[in-house]
Amino acid sequence: DADVTQTPRNRITKTGKRIMLECSQTKGHDRMYWYRQDPGLGLQLIYYSFDVKDINKGEISDGYSVSRQAQAKFSLSLESAIPNQTALYFCATSAQTGGRKNNEQFFGPGTRLTVL
Amino acid sequence: GNSVTQMEGPVTLSEEAFLTINCTYTATGYPSLFWYVQYPGEGLQLLLKATKADDKGSNKGFEATYRKETTSFHLEKGSVQVSDSAVYFCALSGGQGAQKLVFGQGTRLTINP
């Protein structure tokens, strides 16, 4: 059973289209994240949310928006997709802890997005 | 700010060879350190972690020791297998504020039979 699921797994779209990537989790975690992975660059944080009413920009939020519809759901939108947003996108979750010592994040399987 | 630098890849080894993937970090305070692994077509999975200086994380034959004096967290395995072929990411979290992970760029490892 997948604890963190992402839909769709693959998507091809055209420049200028609006795209939404969805993430759901059954881990009961408060904290959710969206990352982008490009070859040779590791993962870069786009947005993160520590609870339903909390949304924060990450390193590369320009051109993206997010919505935390419920504790278990966190969606990423590209309002007007462009080719350099072609990448692998990952959602992740983590539990709220009293300190900073155990920020293990659990990742979804990823969405491969291609913008033509 | 916090940053992680990993050994550049790709790395190609023969089965049963000894593996080291270097990772150094820059951080304020006392971060927690992680190694994640990404198998082909999958998301990232936590491989091991260490939360304080001199801690050793270990899993599946992999080990890494949190060295504060050298700001390093090198990943090692004594005898690699073909099934270890994957991309490995070093990451840290810590300091003030949000529990965000900062990742290195990843090292692609290929093990040949």
Q: What is the pLDDT of residue A100?
A: 52
Interface test with A, best of B44, B90, B107 (most A CBs within 10 A): B44
Q: What is the pLDDT of residue B97?
A: 46
CA distance A53 to A38: 29
Contact B35, B106 (CB under 8 A): no
Give the CA-trace dihedral at B27, B28, B30, B31, to 10 degrees: -40
Alpha helix (H) ranges present in chain B?
none
Q: Does B46 touch chain A (CB under 8 A)?
A: yes
More confident residue, B110 or A100: B110
Structure confidence by residue, pLDDT tens digits, B33-69: 999 999 988 889 999 999 889 999 999 999 999 999 9
Residue listed under structure tokens 């099934």: B83
How far apart are the C-alpha atoms of B10 and A108, rounded to whole Å?
Answer: 24
pLDDT string in tens for chain A (116-residue length): 569 999 999 999 999 999 999 999 999 999 999 999 997 778 999 999 999 999 999 989 999 999 999 999 999 999 999 999 999 999 999 987 655 556 788 999 999 999 99
Residue A97's pLDDT is 65
pLDDT for residue A11: 96
Asked if the C-beta of B43 comes within 8 angstroms of chain A's C-beta atoms, the answer is yes
* C-alpha distance from B18 to closest chain A C-alpha (Å): 24
